[in-house]
C-alpha cells in the first residue's frame, strides 16, 4: 500500500471538488487513481468514498430535498447498475481507461461549448438519464454526466440541483456498492485503500462545503472542465 498517501491526497481534492460543486469527485479522482492502482480497484474505491461525500452533502442540504425530483432517475438507474457491474467484471482495464477518457472529454466539451439552458423536459428523460448514470457509475465510477446534464436543463435553483444530485448519487451509490460486493469487485485491497483515504475525503468535502457560495462557481467549474479535458485526453492516449 505504498501509494496510500497519494491516494489520500487525490480523495482530498476529489472531496473538495464535490463539496463545492455537488458533483465531480469521481471525475477528478479516477484519472489520477489509475496512475497508481488498477481500474478494478479504483472503481469500487471511488464508489465507497462517494458514499461518504454524498451522505455529508445530503445532510447539509436536507431542507432542499424533493423526492419527486429524485425518484424518476433513481428508478432508471437500477437496471443500468447491473449492466455496468457486469461490464466491469469482464472488461479490459485499457478499455475502461479509453471509455472513461471519452466520457470525461465529451462531458467537459459539452459543458464548455454547448452551454445548456433550461427547457421543457419530457417525462421519460429522467429515466433515461438515470439508466445511463447507472451504467457509467457502476462500470467507471463516473456516472454523473447524464444526470448532471439533465439537471442543468431543468432551471432548478442551485441548492435544489445540488441537493437532488447529492441524494440521487448517495442512493445510487448504495446500489452500486451492493452490486460490486455481490459480484466480488469489493476486495480486501479495496477496503484497505478505503480505510486509508476516508479521513482525507471527509476533510475535502467539509472544506468544499464551507467554500460553497463563497467562490464564483462559474470560474471554478470552468477550471475543473479544462482539467477534465487534459486528464481524459491523457487517459485516451495511454489506453491507445
* DSSP string across 57-73: HHHHTGGG--HHHHHHH
The torsion angles phi and psi of 123, rounded to 5 degrees, stand at: -65, -25
pLDDT value of position 11: 95
Least confident of 118-122, 157-161, 193-197, 234-238: 118-122
Would you state the pLDDT for residue 8?
A: 92
**Any residues with CB less than 8 A from the CB of 24 and at least 6 apart, and which?**
14, 17, 18, 144, 224
* pLDDT over 60 (residue 190): yes
pTM: 0.76
Helices 188-211 & 39-60 angle (0-180, nearest 10) = 40
pLDDT of residue 88 exceeding 80, the answer is no
Residue 143: predicted pLDDT: 62
pLDDT at 163 over 60: yes
Q: What is the pLDDT of residue 191?
A: 95
Cβ neighbour number for residue 101 with a 10 Å cutoff: 25
208-216: average pLDDT = 79
More confident residue, 161 or 218: 161
What's the whole-number average pLDDT of the chain? 82
Amino acid at each position: 500500500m505504498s501509494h496510500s498517501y497519494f491516494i489520500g491526497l487525490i480523495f482530498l481534492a476529489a472531496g473538495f471538488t464535490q463539496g463545492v460543486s455537488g458533483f465531480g469527485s469521481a471525475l477528478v479522482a479516477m484519472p489520477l487513481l489509475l496512475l497508481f492502482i488498477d481500474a478494478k480497484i479504483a472503481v469500487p474505491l471511488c464508489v465507497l468514498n462517494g458514499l461518504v461525500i454524498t451522505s455529508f452533502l445530503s445532510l447539509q442540504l436536507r431542507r432542499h430535498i424533493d423526492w419527486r425530483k429524485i425518484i424518476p432517475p433513481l428508478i432508471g438507474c437500477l437496471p443500468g447498475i447491473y449492466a455496468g457491474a457486469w461490464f466491469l467484471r469482464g472488461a479490459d482495464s485499457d478499455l475502461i481507461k479509453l471509455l472513461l477518457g471519452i466520457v470525461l472529454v465529451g462531458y467537459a466539451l459539452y459543458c464548455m461549448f454547448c452551454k445548456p439552458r433550461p427547457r421543457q423536459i419530457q417525462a421519460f428523460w429522467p429515466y433515461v438519464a438515470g439508466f445511463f448514470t447507472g451504467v457509467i457509475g457502476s462500470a467507471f465510477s463516473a456516472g454523473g454526466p447524464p444526470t448532471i446534464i439533465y439537471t442543468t436543463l431543468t432551471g432548478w435553483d442551485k441548492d435544489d440541483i445540488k441537493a437532488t444530485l447529492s441524494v440521487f448519487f448517495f442512493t445510487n451509490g448504495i446500489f452500486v456498492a451492493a452490486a460490486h460486493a455481490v459480484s466480488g469487485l469489493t476486495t480486501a485491497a479495496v477496503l484497505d485503500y478505503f480505510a486509508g483515504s476516508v479521513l482525507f475525503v471527509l476533510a475535502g468535502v467539509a472544506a468544499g462545503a464551507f467554500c460553497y457560495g463563497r467562490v464564483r462557481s462559474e470560474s471554478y467549474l470552468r477550471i475543473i472542465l479544462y482539467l477534465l479535458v487534459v486528464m481524459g485526453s491523457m487517459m485516451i492516449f495511454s489506453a491507445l
